[in-house]
Amino acid sequence: MSERSVVERLHFGRDDAERDMADGLLRSGFQETVAYNAVASGRRTLVIGRKGVGKSAICVRLASEPDGAGGVELVTAADIAGEELRAFELTGLSGDRAKSMLWRYVFAVRAAQYLVGHAEQHGGRASEAIKALKAFIKANRELFGDPRTTGGFGRWLQGLSGSLSLEAFGVKATADIAQQGVSAEEGSRPVQQLRILENGVRSGFDELGCAPEHTFVLLVDQLEQLWSADLESHSLVIGLLLATWYSGSHYGGALRCVVFLRSDIYDSLIFTEGDKFHSDELRIDWSKSDLEALALQRARASVGLGLTAEHLWGVVFPRTVNGLSTPAYLLSHALPRPRDLIQYLNECQYTAIGNGHRDRVHESDIQLATHRFSQWKLKDLVQEYLVAHPFLGHLIPLFQNSGYLITRAALGRRFGLVEDTLHREFPAYTKALTLEGIIKTLHEVGFLGVRRGNGIVYTDSLRLRVQLHEDEFHLHPCFRAALGATTPAGFDVYGRHVADSIVAQVVSGDIPSLDHGATPAGREHRLLERLARACRSVLGELAPADTVPAEVREEISVQLRSILDDAERGRSTESPVDEERMVLDAASYFHTTATRLRRDGLEGDTGADSLAAHLITQSTRLVRAVGGTTGSSGEA
């Protein structure tokens, strides 16, 4: 069997951190970013980011590291029963506080189990606190089975609700609670029981004296699987945050809880203690240079450490795609997160092999992969926000087969066509289903960018909302191919098929019909000369038309130059040319373009000197030139 080529061996990783770890790429191809180091060092304990930015990669990597600095344990949605968590209540406590007590209880039990096992590493005789914890776990072994088994977590909750045995801590009856330093005024029996347990765990940490060199770390991830965007879900997450804040201080740094949370979930939370977490927050944002470095590191992990950036982006991959450097092209067509880039690169490699290109990835392979990737990401975007924005999939068709540059006026017109329907289908979201509401949503999820100064801002670290005065928006390049929005304004392309409506007007008599028998020699040449002059005139108006976005001016300019080239070739060739049809094609293009400029608000100037007005004037003159009387110049 022949040795596989570089392209065949190339692999950038899996879609999820768990399989990446199993394959080994999360070890050999993991990039230790500033975010990772901040979490690993304990400086940040609340990791926030969109789906696919690498939260779980950090979590899985930390959970897999050797137990040199203490214990690390991962808690995911698979470990707990979501419905039981959401339904959990304690008499006399509000939803947020009840959920906080629940999470504190889970942390305390896990810490107790850890301390009993960790104490054996210290050798010697067990301390009194550790003996008490060991006896506590043994007495409650029926409660503390595997929570993932059927009814397992329900038994955990029963313990907090009142059936927890605390004899190991000297508590046999309610009257004994006061002897543990917990007064009846401090809360209900579950609250009192929890505090006794937490005090016992704290004593265990104190007697072992592990902190701060050795810390027990609990990593809480995949909470989106328990999320339903309802009040119970809010209380569940708020309670978790309150519990992590409390545990961080109660155990003197010996126990640290790190929460990995989707940004859309965190940003939807409203609670009075929210200001306590700003110093713990870490939002994961990826720069283009970091993503490019990640791609190289992943490539090296699969084909060898000797691979250089120059070889990867100049030999294995083409140096440029559509005039851009290959990394710039790829990163501009993906959302700024590792998962997207990994999927995109793998699809490029897969496409190349499918096309028989085993030695190098060709530009055509990347272009084909871009369309497939765009379709994936459009579908993924709707699925990602299905809970937070269930109407998102119904907004996407508003942008299909049009330009990628959209003004506020054009978006308002499109939204107005479906507004009533959306309100009927999503009555709970009518406040969000306004023009301002959908602009806000589409910008926050990364679907739309907004022009600010000389650039287009999609989602960024500043997270500045779209302002009322901002009225030019761009579809993210990631979604353009899937939506057929590959040109700025989506104008009809000039061609020999676009003038049917004007030809119909000529035939029907709306414009004087053509009398071919009376056409004098040389009239065809004059028509083409008239067309060339019209193109040059519009090009002259186009350059200074700064009220029209630059991308739109460039799109129109390309079409005008194509028309001008056709006219010049028609004048210089002896081959038969349908001059009248060519002129009517151009007149149709001028008129359609002017209509779109005005309808979609693509030109700020609506006066007599505007670009749209000039296009209509030239269109009218061309039609008159074709249908005018013998010898007419078309200027009358």
Tokens of 133: 């914890």
Average pLDDT over residues 295-301: 90
Residue 559 and residue 452 in contact, taking contact as beta carbons nearer than 8 Å:
no
Residue type, 500: D
Q: Is the pLDDT of residue 428 over 70?
A: yes
Q: Which residues contact 229 (CB under 8 A, 6 or more apart)?
A: 268, 387, 388
Banded pLDDT at 83 (limits 50, 70, 90): low
Ramachandran category for residue 271: left, alpha or beta (phi over 0 → left; psi -120 to 50 → alpha): beta
Query: Max Cα separation, the chain?
Result: 118
Residue 501: its pLDDT value, please? 44
- Sign of the dihedral through C-alpha 194, 235, 81, 20: negative
Q: Is the pLDDT of residue 109 over 50?
A: yes
| Average pLDDT score, the chain | 82
The correct answer on CATH 1.10.8 for the domain covering 6-14+287-378 is: yes
With pLDDT > 90 as the criterion, what percentage of the chain qualifies?
Answer: 40
Q: Is 577 exposed, middle or buried (0-12, 13-18, 19+ CB in 10 A)?
A: middle
What is the distance of C-alpha 273 from the center of its chain?
28
**Which strands form 405-407's sheet, in the order they lie side by side?**
405-407, 472-475, 448-452, 455-457
pLDDT digits (tens, 9 = 90+) for 519-572: 444 777 888 889 999 999 999 998 888 889 989 999 999 999 999 888 888 877
Residue 2: its pLDDT value, please? 59
What is the distance of C-alpha 498 from the center of its chain?
38
* Sole residue written with tokens 């344990």: 73
Closest CA to 33 of 15, 19, 49, 22: 49
Residue 147: its pLDDT value, please? 52
Residue 504: its pLDDT value, please? 43
Residue type, 292: E
Q: Is the pLDDT of residue 515 over 60?
A: no
Residue 89: its pLDDT value, please? 65
Residue type, 246: Y
Residue 21: its pLDDT value, please? 63
Banded pLDDT at 626 (limits 50, 70, 90): confident
Residue 230 and residue 195 in contact, taking contact as beta carbons nearer than 8 Å:
no
Q: Which residues contact 67 (CB under 8 A, 6 or more apart)?
A: none
Residue 189: its pLDDT value, please? 76
**CB atoms inside a 10 Å sphere around CB 87:** 10
pLDDT digits (tens, 9 = 90+) for 165-217: 888 888 775 545 545 555 444 456 778 888 999 999 999 988 888 776 778 99
Give residue limits of the domains in the chain: 6-14+287-378, 76-279, 392-483, 500-627
Average pLDDT over residues 349-361: 94
Residue 312 is classified by DSSP as I
Partner residues linked to 472 by β-bridges: 407
What is the DSSP track for 151-166? THHHHHHHIIIII---
Residue 462: its pLDDT value, please? 60
- Pairing label, strands 46-49, 281-283: parallel
| Phi, psi dihedral angles at 513 (to 5 degrees) | -70, 160
Residue 282 is classified by DSSP as E
Average pLDDT over residues 117-130: 77
Residue 324: its pLDDT value, please? 95
In angstroms, the CA 373 to CA 477 distance is: 11
Q: Which helix (H) or strand (E) holds 235?
A: helix 231-250
Residue 70: its pLDDT value, please? 64
326-340: b (≥16 Cβ within 10 Å) or e: bbebbbebbbbbbbb
More confident call, 105 vs 491: 105
In angstroms, the CA 321 to CA 329 distance is: 6
In angstroms, the CA 194 to CA 376 distance is: 47
More confident call, 39 vs 577: 39
In angstroms, the CA 460 to CA 446 distance is: 9
In angstroms, the CA 343 to CA 339 distance is: 6
pLDDT digits (tens, 9 = 90+) for 385-405: 998 899 999 999 999 988 999
Q: Which helix (H) or strand (E) holds 389?
A: none
Residue 370 and residue 361 in contact, taking contact as beta carbons nearer than 8 Å:
no
pLDDT digits (tens, 9 = 90+) for 447-498: 999 999 889 999 765 678 899 899 999 999 999 999 999 999 887 776 644 3
Average pLDDT over residues 599-609: 81
Residue 24: its pLDDT value, please? 60
With pLDDT > 70 as the criterion, what percentage of the chain qualifies?
Answer: 80
- Pairing label, strands 320-321, 281-283: unpaired
Q: Is 389 exposed, middle or buried (0-12, 13-18, 19+ CB in 10 A)?
A: buried
Residue 243 and residue 45 in contact, taking contact as beta carbons nearer than 8 Å:
no
End-to-end Cα, the chain, rounded Å: 79
pLDDT digits (tens, 9 = 90+) for 47-82: 999 988 888 888 888 888 755 456 888 887 766 655
Q: Is the pLDDT of residue 408 over 80?
A: yes
Closest CA to 199 of 185, 179, 219, 172: 179
Residue 132 and residue 138 in contact, taking contact as beta carbons nearer than 8 Å:
no
